[in-house]
Amino acid sequence: MIYAVWVPLLMPFLAVPAARRLADALSPVRAVRLLAATGAGLALCSLLALALLVVPGATRFSVVSAPGELVRPLSDAVPAATVPLAAAALALLVGCAVAVVRAARRHWTELRPAGRLEGHADGELAVLRDSRPDAYALPGRPGTPGRIVVTTGMLRALDPAERDALLAHERAHLVGRHHLFIAAIEAAALCHPALRSLRAPMSYALERCADEAAADAVGDRWITARAIGRAALAARAAEGASRPRPRVALAAVAGPVPRRVAALLGRNAARTRVGRAAAAALLACLVASGAAALDATSDLHSGIEAAQGENAQH
């Protein structure tokens, strides 16, 4: 266990470089799914590894070893090393739990009903009377509909076909519940610092998902690319004066717009071999992390049984 338990804590550092290659090398939907599975899996394995580091040090204390009928500690290491390591692992576990709970509460609070928005609302669309160009998808809580929020300034900046593409993009965010993928990656990042680097590729992959959905909806990739480009230019021209968006909002003008436009126009063709290699590397990291965590858990269980067996012999 002493070696296997460290693998889940180190594996995220190896997974992140491969994750950065996914968004352009795989289809957006596959990239989102793989990034979400990798982030959640590596985060859970790292938490399990921390928990496994706590147990040997805890058995140094009779309050823990007595209920388990252990006659000796599970670790052969000296207490001067085992106990501080267990204390540090426990502190990290508690810190992660507190951070994730706070993030979940903040996310829930920010999913405010879209009906509170000022302006004219027509079904899922809420039009704000504001000369500053902006548009975003504002998800709602379970049981409450989300809203597509667009300002009058943004509507004036686009022609009718471009408006349809922009609204289709934001609608795809709502239908796909993309804010949940962002929340999952944020939670994973709170569990392991290396997983923070998954935020950017996940955000980009989600925007690409919405771009492709918009292109399918309007039936024209050029119009969709033009709408995204013109919306981004209009929004950035008024960036200093624009009102801040809610944290849970997903906007078509976010992220690396030139890369997204190039992908829509086929100038950044998906590199199948690179995508497969990156996906294989991520899956290998996930499998290795899970296998090491299971191996360390099995070793810990065997150690407990051995300590209890000695007690039974006595």
CA distances from 243 to 111, 112, 132, 203 (A): 18, 17, 8, 21
Q: In terms of pLDDT, which residue wins out, 150 or 301?
A: 150
pLDDT tens figures, 76-110: 545 557 778 888 999 999 999 999 999 998 888 87
Rounded distance between C-alpha atoms, residue 137 and residue 172, angstroms? 9
pLDDT tens figures, 22-52: 777 788 998 999 999 999 999 999 999 999 8
Confidence of residue 169 (pLDDT cuts 50, 70, 90): very high
Rounded distance between C-alpha atoms, residue 85 and residue 49, angstroms? 12
Q: In the predicted model, is pLDDT for residue 313 greater than 50?
A: no
Q: In the predicted model, is pLDDT for residue 314 greater than 50?
A: no
Beta-strand ranges (E) seen in the chain are 120-122, 125-128, 135-138, 147-151
Residue 130: predicted pLDDT: 87
Rounded to two decimals, the pTM is 0.84
Rounded distance between C-alpha atoms, residue 268 and residue 266, angstroms? 5
Residue 24: predicted pLDDT: 74
Average the pLDDT over 108-117 and give the result. Answer: 67
Q: Where is average pLDDT lowest: 43-57, 199-213, 250-264, 269-283?
A: 269-283
Please give the DSSP secondary-structure letter assigned to residue 20.
T
pLDDT tens figures, 274-289: 777 888 888 999 999 9
Q: Nearest to residue 55, comparing CAs of 289, 290, 297, 293?
A: 297
Average the pLDDT over 202-213 and give the result. Answer: 94
Query: 172 near 181, Cβ under 8 Å?
Result: no
Residue 90: predicted pLDDT: 92
Please give the DSSP secondary-structure letter assigned to residue 296.
H
- Looking up tokens 């199948």, which residue turns up? 272
Residue 254: predicted pLDDT: 81
Rounded distance between C-alpha atoms, residue 185 and residue 28, angstroms? 16
Residue 9: predicted pLDDT: 93
Q: Nearest to residue 203, comparing CAs of 12, 10, 39?
A: 39
Residue 226: predicted pLDDT: 95
Residue 311: predicted pLDDT: 45
**Pair of tokens at residue 143:** 């049981």
Q: Any idea what the Cα angle at residue 183 is, between residues 132 and 33, rounded to 5°?
A: 105
CA dihedral of residues 98, 104, 105, 110 (deg, nearest 10):
140
